[in-house]
Structure 1
């Protein structure tokens, strides 16, 4: 019997507690789970790829079957194939994500019919957490940041941008 290998891709700019929850739950479903930081080398993110990778690694130290990989200007299905993944893993926060993911799944299936996509619903308490909203909290130096991101992100933010102004 062959190994079940999952691939969960995102920009993780930065990683949130919602991402970490999906990764932990997915890691229990697979023999091996790759978490892919996919990025466009021509676009500037808030955090460098190295910073994103470091924050993810620090947040996932207890997961022996998870490996972080990076890929520039690549389709997730192409990276998944290179890694010999059997499944794509996606998280769903709500109906807006479902519509987006359905369109994405259509093309992923056309490009790589051998890859099955599984969807994990975000836990209710994390439904509204997104990297976009977290970046806004970072911009305004909100002390709420620690509620929504792992400690590794809080440390990186404080080192890079300073402590929240209301602490």
Structure 2
């Protein structure tokens, strides 16, 4: 019997407690869960790829069976096939996320019909936390420590 392998992707700019919660929950559903840091051309990056990688590694260090991968200028379906992934994992915070994710799932399904997409609904405590809101708070020099893992706070200290 082959291992169950999942892939959870995002820009993680920065990783939030909501991301960590979804990844922790998904890690129990798979023998191996890849977490992919992807470049999102619609989002202006706040942190460099190297900074995001350090933050994600720090936030997920306590999880077994979770491996970080990075990808730029590449489709998730291409990486998923290369890694032997059977399922994409996506988080849903609200109806706005559902519309975006449904569209993404349609195209992923057209490109890779053999890869299923599963959705995990955010816990209420994390429904309003997003990387874009965190970036906005950072721009106005507000405290974000209640919304992000300690690895993000350490990276911010490095930046100063």
Q: TM over 0.5, yes or no? A: yes
Structure 1 residue ranges, 4+ long, deviating more than 4 angstroms after superposition? none
2:155 is equivalent to residue 156 of structure 1: yes
2:74 is equivalent to residue 79 of structure 1: no
Paired residue for 2:95?
A: 95
Q: CA deviation at 1:40?
A: 5.4
Unaligned ranges ≥5, structure 1: 162-167
Give the TM-score, by structure 2 length. Answer: 0.95
Aligned length: 159
2:18 is equivalent to residue 4 of structure 1: no
Q: CA deviation at 1:159?
A: 2.5
8 Å Cα contact 1:138-1:157 kept in structure 2: no
> Which protein is bigger by CA-based radius of gyration?
1
Q: Give the match's secondary structure for 2:2.
A: coil
Q: Give the whole-Å Cα distance in 2 for the aligned partners of 1:55 and 1:103.
A: 28
Q: Give the whole-Å Cα distance in 2 for the aligned partners of 1:61 and 1:93.
A: 24
Q: Give the whole-Å Cα distance in 1 for the aligned partners of 2:54 and 2:29.
A: 24
- Relative to structure 1, is the Cα distance of residues 102 and 40 closer, same or farther in structure 2, using a 3 angstrom cutoff? closer
8 Å Cα contact 2:11-2:40 kept in structure 1: no
Equivalences for 1:116-135 in 2 at 5 Å? 116-135=116-135
Q: Give the whole-Å Cα distance in 1 for the aligned partners of 2:108 and 2:40.
A: 18
Q: Give the match's secondary structure for 2:100.
A: helix
Q: Give the whole-Å Cα distance in 2 for the aligned partners of 1:4 and 1:80.
A: 13
Structure scoring higher RCO (CA < 8 A, sep ≥ 6) equals: 2
CA RMSD of aligned residues (A): 1.3
- Post-superposition CA distance 1:125-150 (Å, at most 9, x none): 1000000000011111112x011000
